[in-house]
Amino acid sequence: MESSIAKRDKIGVQDFVLLEDYRSENAFVENLKKRYHENLIYTYIGSVLVSVNPYKTIQGLYGADTMSEYRGVNLYELPPHIYAIADSAYRSMREEALDQCVLISGESGAGKTEASKKMLHYLASCSGHMGDVDRVKERLLQSNPVLEAFGNAKTIRNDNSSRFGKYMDIEFDFKGSPVGGHIKNYLLEKSRVVTQAQGERNFHIFYQLLAGAGNSLLSDLQLQSYPERYRLLCQGDCTMVKTIDDRADFMLVQQALSVLGFHDKECQSLWTIVSSIIHLGNLSYVSGDTEGTSRVSDSDNIPALAKLLQCAGDILERSLTHRTIEARGEKLLTPLSVEQALYARDALAKSTYERMFLWLVHRLNSSLQNESKVRKNVMGLLDIYGFEIFVVNSFEQFCINYCNEKLQQVFIELTLKSEQEEYYQENIEWEPVEYFNNKIICDLVEEKHKGIIAILDEECLRPGEVSDDTFLERLCKGVGKHAHFLSHQTTDYEGRKTLARNEFRLSHYAGDVTYSINGFVDKNNDLLYRDLKEAMSSSCNIILKKIFTAEELQSKKRPPTAATQFKTSLAELMVILMSKQPSYIRCIKPNDDKRPGVLQESIIFHQVKYLGLMENLRVRRAGFCYRRPFAVFLNRYKSLCPKTWPTWRGSEKDGIRVLCVHLGYTSDQYKIGRTKIFIRFPKTLFETEDRFQDRKHELVTQITAIFRMYRQRKVYRKMQWSVTTIAKHWRRVAAQRYAERYRAAAAVVRKFIIGFKNRNKPKCPENVNFLEFVRINFLKTLARQLPRNVLDHSWPTPPPALTEASNMLRLLHQRSMVRAYVRKMTPEKKLQLSLKVTASERFRNCKEAYPPSVAAPFVGTRLSDSEQDAMKRNLAVKFPESGPVKYATNCVKYDRHGYKSRSRIIAITNKGCLVLETGSYKLKEQHLFEHISEVVVSSLTDGIVVIRLPTDDKNSRGDLIIAVEHVIEFIIKLLCEHSNKLDCLKIDASGKVIHNTPGNKSGTILFHKGDNALISPTKTGELQVVRLTSDQHFTAVHALTRLHHQLAMLLT
């Protein structure tokens, strides 16, 4: 790669336009030679790229880094390169929405195929990266190995020569990403299938299959990996090529077929057809039993071939040795001679391969097809065979060179003739450049009714005996006097020395070419016997069924000749090329031996001359590099001038003048024609384009701001409309809901009033809702006003209909509160309550002293702590058998005689009761429970207790009479210590209690109420007990007694 301007000056100029002696061919070739020897294979002629084949790999010339370096750079800012042409065409297509085409031309071996690959790789790398885009790019790239394998072959001049013409359209979306493609092929050299010149090979795929297929696949195809064993592969004595790795290439082909979406069955069918063609070439014939007949010499080959072609063996063998002729409505089966059979064999091989190749191209197109209706831009790549001059040139070279003549004509039309004519039409001052116009040669070949192709077709269709010699004879009569045509019959004596009787010579733009007429008629007819077509159409092979159709057999129309088909397809190609903006790559072959570093000047001079490079240089040197219609130029660059932006109101020509003045163009930099502006120097255009690219950023900012404002305003208006719509509908819904609630409320109120009027009636439809409301309302009120404790007796007044339920709820609530109260009680308190319950059962409503005792809790002793301790110590020492003291209290003991009172302590143990002396705690009396027969108290509030004891014992002192302050507590403690004594209690309400004294005597205790409380003996010998009356106190205590009774009942 060139690294500096100084280095480029030493080794020649990178643009031939900069040559000082631009009219000299020697200077032109010398500049090309200098650069070639420095590995600088690319040179510009303006925007045309000249490429010299180096026949070697140049380090650093290609790759991702080089692609990145040329991406988005103007054409002349970096050294000449094919990437620069590709980038310029790509950016022009993307930014100006103009369809492009790149025409790659040159001789065979000049590097056209490699140039098209580099173009395709660059276009794939510079576009976007997304899922579908990457898939399309990968398929576009992978189509090359497949087409090269089936359409390229080694020739004397090129190890990878394209033996077919290829034009590929790559479709891009508006973002510049490839979205699809389409391939057109032109004139596959199918004669190579059956014959190759010395030093040449058949198509690559045959050798790749033998070298790369596995043993199992070769076994299925009944092949061996030795191409020398097959006649169609070894005619040129060149089955192996040092620069080609057939095994690796076959792996690439298989991988490419997979990427392109070929199914396994399709791949297998392809290999089957290729192998069948190889086997078909090994068929040989011998004369039959009768004269003019033939048969297959080795009949064992037919079953193997029929198996591969998947058709009946007998039908295949008959079609290879016989032909059906239809005469006057009758069909006759006639045998073929050995020569005819060999022709039929070769015709079948050629036709099968050609049709398979056409199917392959069609299948590739379906894989690359983009069905989107969105507008797409197209870039075309034309890689077609170059001009060929061999020792023996036949029908194929005639068609190939005719194609190159047409391409040269396009080049002349677009670069030389049309450019100069455009200057005249636009009134631009111009010095005419002389050039050779090859239209006369094109007309010689293709002119209707007079051209070579027309004469060849007439000869092929003429009834009677037709041969190559008759064709040459008619050709000499038709075009023999043409200045560019020579034959043995039409030339002079000296010319006849260089021309055989079966040859003619054409003076092409690239030089004189001598053609041998042998095979012209047969190759142009391109006949395949109907019997062979029928045999192939009966095949079960999925590809053969498609390429040999039943519709073809039914058609009676004669197919067009090969030359006519090629002429028609070339005409279509010319229309396509003329409709696109072209870019040119002119490939030059440095030598005939494919040696790197060797440049033969004679060969270079010849190619420079016939490629018209000198004429192109003179036109570029004198002309303008850029021209555009006023509307296009003004529309693209009007944003660079405030007067023309955003809209120019005047004429387009005036707008161009204003714009050029604002841009600072000088008079020698541009010219204004009638309808177009012409810019002379690329530098001027690039500076303008750079300013436009900078301006685009400003415009994008302005457009973005305006668009954002527009979008937000649109969003705001939509939101405003949405809010208004939602509010309108919400108000409607809210009003509807309010009306529904209003109607429902009126109905409820109406029902309530009717129910209130009928509230005292039994439940009926008129009052059912009201009663339900009353119930609910009462329950809600009750839930808020429930009593909070057991002493709270408040309760809401229920409606009449809920009286029973209210009572049940009240009872349940009381029980619930009591249960809660009881759960919180300690065992001591429960025992206390149990004793209280017992007291209530025995004394309630029986003794007036009971109500005052309800509020006072029962205790374990009424003595002080010191008294209690002293009593326990005395009893423990003197009376240990008495047991533990359960209860003790102070009392007053009255004697049985005289009723003298004595202060005593009475203690209750688990065996009985003890009467102790106060202070000394001396035991005065001890009475066991079993001796106590009855305990008698009065019904008044006094504390007199009479404990009846046995009197039949001589030591008995009679009943024990005591006065206790807490009489209820004492009696409960006394009787509850021994459960059998609970029934011994007697409450006397008569006011007189008789007690027993020793000696079977008795005494009387009188009880009554009075104003002064006293206990004293009377004069008559009774004990008088008087107690006071207090009604109010009795009432309060009585209520408490009832409450405790209820608690006791629940507890039990």
Which positions ≥6 away from 547 have C-beta within 8 Å?
352, 355, 356, 358, 359, 536
The pLDDT of residue 1033 is above 50: no
1047 versus 356: the higher-pLDDT residue is 356
pLDDT greater than 90 at residue 251 = yes
Q: How many CB atoms lie within 10 A of CB 111?
A: 27
Token representation of residue 652: 């387009």
Catalytic residues: 108-109, 113, 158, 161-162, 386, 388
666 burial class (0-12, 13-18, 19+ CB within 10 angstroms)? Answer: exposed
Would you state the pLDDT for residue 5? 37
Q: For residue 489, what are its two tokens?
A: 């019959």
Q: Are strands 1023-1027 and 503-508 parallel, antiparallel or unpaired?
A: unpaired
In the predicted structure, residue 1035 carries a pLDDT above the cut 50:
no
Q: What pLDDT was estimated at residue 228? A: 93
Q: Is residue 456 very low, low, confident or very high in pLDDT (cuts 50, 70, 90)?
A: very high
Which pLDDT score, from 0 to 100, does residue 4 have?
39
Whether the pLDDT of residue 217 is over 90: the answer is: yes
Pairing of strands 992-997, 1023-1027: unpaired
Of 87-101, 405-419, 674-688, 860-874, give the lowest mean pLDDT range: 405-419
- Digit-coded pLDDT (tens) for 519-528: 899 888 878 8
Quote the DSSP letter at residue 673: -
Residue 590 has pLDDT above 80, yes or no: yes
| Mean pLDDT to the nearest integer, 563-581 | 89
Q: Computed over its alpha carbons, how large is the radius of gyration of the chain?
A: 66
pLDDT of residue 774: 86
Q: What is the pLDDT of residues 875-917, one digit of tens each?
A: 888 888 888 888 999 999 998 778 889 999 999 988 889 999 9
Residue 500's nearest CA partner among 512, 483, 517 is 517
pLDDT for res 973:
86
User: What's the rounded mean pLDDT across residues 652-663?
Assistant: 89
> Residue 625: its pLDDT value, please?
66
- What confidence score (pLDDT) does residue 8 get? 44
Q: For a pLDDT cut of 90, what percent of the chain falls above it?
A: 31
Higher-confidence residue of 239 and 1012: namely: 239
Q: Which of 593, 592, 586 is nearest to 610 (CA)?
A: 586
Phi-psi region for residue 816, left (φ > 0), alpha (ψ -120 to 50) or beta? alpha
Q: What is the pLDDT of residue 733?
A: 95
> Tell me: the pLDDT tens digits for 693-710?
888 888 889 989 999 999
Q: What is the structure's pLDDT at 1042?
A: 52
pLDDT 10s digits, 117-149: 899 889 888 776 666 677 888 888 899 999 999
What confidence tens digit (pLDDT) does each residue in 811-856 have?
Answer: 999 999 888 888 888 888 888 888 888 888 888 888 888 888 888 8
CB 631 within 8 A of CB 56: no
Q: Provide the mean pLDDT of the chain.
A: 86
SS (H, E, C) 404-440: HHHHHHHHHHHHHHHHHHHHHHCCCCCCCCCCCCCHH
Between 667 and 705, the higher pLDDT residue: 705
Percent of the chain with pLDDT over 70: 94
Q: Which residues contact 787 (CB under 8 A, 6 or more apart)?
A: 793, 794, 795, 813, 814, 817
